[in-house]
Amino acid sequence: MNPIPYRPTQIVMLGTGTPMPDPDRSGPSTAIVVNDTPYLIDFGPGVVRRAAAAYRKGVTAFGEGAVNITTVFLTHLHTDHTVGYPDLIFTPWVMGRKSPLSVYGPAGLSAMTENIIKAWAVDIEARVNGRHNATGYCVKACEIKPGVVYQDRNVTVTAFAAHHNEMKDSFGYRFDTSGRTVVISGDTTPTQALIEHSDGCDVLIHECYSLASYEKITPEWQEFRRTHHTSSRELAEIAMRIRPSLLILYHRSNAGGGDNNPNAEQEVIDEIRQLYQGAVVTGHDLDIF
């Protein structure tokens, strides 16, 4: 294991995928590491194993077995962003985490949490009465509204409303640290709230779909894209207004002609660069910025 060169605020892309079971991309999950303290956004499938891989790569802040991940934020309740929740609750506990997990997110988070704990009640009882501590599996689920939702000595986290159609309670997040300001969009169509909360940000992490792939799908799926996500052209227009130092694309929805297209990544970058000439990259699992 070679430690990553120190930077007060790091962005670690743990999962950059979509609902498609792409073996190269775990489900959406991003970590903001500030002064060696990790803060997680979303917990798609594979989240803990990606954190373990990042630890092996040198991101020691996660701790072995992801035991140091204790503060988490959720954008919305779709399965591709939440299927890793039981893993995040239980695996680090089994590996030795003693602190309860604090999770901030939309309405419905508390019910989801309670039902996961109930679903694994037999396992919890066996482990607590055996060799494991009685606190590390516990979760403090906090259902939030837009505004400042978390603050400590490292970071101030502000939630703002996203628009993901039927997911009425959806959020993006702004992380203000002493070294960088990072904004992550969550799943969303373009919104004024995102533009306002991205003012002055250093890094914008934003979902995106390519127009080339959009043209290859059915009218029904085109309607879905328009009401749930952001196109490359729309994102370029947003970036032109915000002017971040770096734009990172993640959760890239290119189904229907893109995911099997070997040029898909360059295609979406080229579409954005038709309007926006700033620094833009496509995020991959375990990329560090």
Share of the chain above pLDDT 90, in %: 81
Contact present, 146 and 108 (Cβ < 8 Å): no
DSSP state of 25: S
What does the angle CA 95 – CA 101 – CA 103 come to, to the nearest 5 degrees?
A: 140
pLDDT band with cut points at 50, 70 and 90 for residue 262: confident
Which pLDDT band holds residue 6 (cuts at 50, 70, 90)?
Answer: low
pLDDT category of residue 214 using cuts at 50, 70 and 90 = confident
pLDDT at 260: 65
The residue among 205 and 23 whose pLDDT is bigger is: 205
**DSSP symbol at 288:** B
Q: Where are the domains of the chain?
A: 9-282
| Distance, CA of 175 to chain centre | 13
**Per-residue model confidence (pLDDT) at position 253:** 67
Sequence letter at residue 235: L
Q: Give CA–CA dist 87/209, Å, rounded.
A: 29
pLDDT bucket at 256, cuts 50 / 70 / 90: very low
Q: Residue 4 has what pLDDT?
A: 61
CB 71 within 8 A of CB 154: no
Question: What angle in degrees, to the nearest 10, is found between the helix axes of 264-273 and 232-242?
Answer: 50
pLDDT digits (tens, 9 = 90+) for 17-58: 988 888 889 999 999 999 999 999 999 999 999 999 999 999
Average pLDDT of the residues of the chain: 93
Model pLDDT, residue 128: 95
User: Where do runs of H (alpha helix) occur along 33-144?
Assistant: 47-57, 79-82, 85-94, 109-119, 121-128
pLDDT of residue 258 exceeding 50, the answer is no
Helix 109-119 vs helix 85-94: crossing angle, to nearest 10: 50
Q: Above 50 in pLDDT, residue 257?
A: no
pLDDT above 50 (res 179):
yes
Closest CA to 244 of 189, 168, 184: 184
Average pLDDT over residues 112-116: 98
Q: Which two tokens stand for residue 193?
A: 């709230």
Whether 197 and 238 have beta carbons less than 8 Å apart is answered as: no
Q: pLDDT (tens digit, 9 = 90+) per residue, 52-97?
A: 999 999 999 999 999 999 999 999 999 999 999 999 999 999 999 9
Closest to 9 (Cα-Cα) out of 281, 288, 211: 288
Top pLDDT among 285 and 251 is at 285
What percentage of the chain reaches a pLDDT higher than 70?
95
pTM, two decimals, is 0.94
The CATH number given to 9-282 is 3.60.15.10
Q: How far apart are CA 155 and CA 188, in angstroms?
A: 24
Kindly tell me if the per-residue pLDDT of 135 is higher than 70. Answer: yes
pLDDT of residue 259: 52
Confidence of residue 162 (pLDDT cuts 50, 70, 90): very high
